[in-house]
Amino acid sequence: MNKNIKLLIVLSIPIILALSQWALSFSTVFIIVSIALIYLLVSSKNIAYKNKHTKLIYKIYKSVMILFITSFILLQGAIIINMYKTNDANSINHMDTMIILGAKVNKDGVSKTLKQRLDKAIEYYNQNKDINIIVSGGKGEDEVMTEASAMKNYLVKNGVDEDNIILENKATTTLENIMFSKEIMKDLNLGNKALIVTSDYHLFRGRFIASILGMDNEGLCSTSSLSSRIYYMIREYPTSIIDFYRSIKISLLS
């Protein structure tokens, strides 16, 4: 069997798995495009070296692909290391302020993802009941209320003192979550250090945005299912690049 055919068969396996788990979603398309680019890199090597022009184009393409693959692996490694260091509420030192990053709100209340984040925050609250809790999240077009309001309702229903909760109800992105929460902390003289609580796959991005914007931070993450974790870790690659650029830009302008 031709080597390129064998490679194509091997590279088709993650595509089939992605389609079976996530249908034709963003992460599936990302995998398909990435594998197609890798296959093109490997299969076109012999053709590319036939003349100096195609050789130059191939070398540039190869360099771009090496940068892409390396940066993807490094980011995923950072996400994994961060999530396993920050999933235990008992290991977090005393903090005065907690920021819970919002997620989808359904008609009947918080989504599974948001519930997991809130339950993890409650774990820490039960050890530190004087903590200020900023719930951050605005209202999406398909949401019946702001994420901040839904989070507050859930926390109060599950034993959190309403007086501890501060609403940030304008943010629509992770960057805005951190920016607007930082402004609240400044306005209320809450200092410049916070415990950021979110999902395992999302925490690294939340923390590096906070660090770029000058906020001292610790992290605490909820645990997602394996399928959800992989799906959203893939999505974190482009969104992390975008947020890194935007955070640097805001930091330089401020």
- Which domains does the chain show, CATH number per domain? 3-85 (no CATH), 89-253 (3.40.50.620)
The region that residue 106 occupies, defined by phi over 0 for left and psi between -120 and 50 for alpha, beta otherwise, is beta
SS3 content of the chain, % helix, strand, coil (to 5): 65, 15, 25
For tokens 């605005």, the residue is 138
For 14, residues 6+ apart whose C-beta sits below 8 A from its C-beta are 31, 35
pLDDT of residue 68 exceeding 70, the answer is: yes
Would you state the structure tokens that stand for residue 222, as one six-digit string?
């909820």
Q: What are the pLDDT digits (tens) for 72-99?
A: 999 999 999 999 999 899 999 899 999 9
Residue with tokens 């194509």: 8
Nearest to 227 by CA among 17, 78, 85: 17
> What would the pLDDT profile of 135-177 be if each residue is shown by its tens digit?
999 998 888 899 999 999 999 999 999 999 999 999 999 999 9
Contacts of 39 (CB under 8 A, 6+ apart): 4, 7, 8, 11
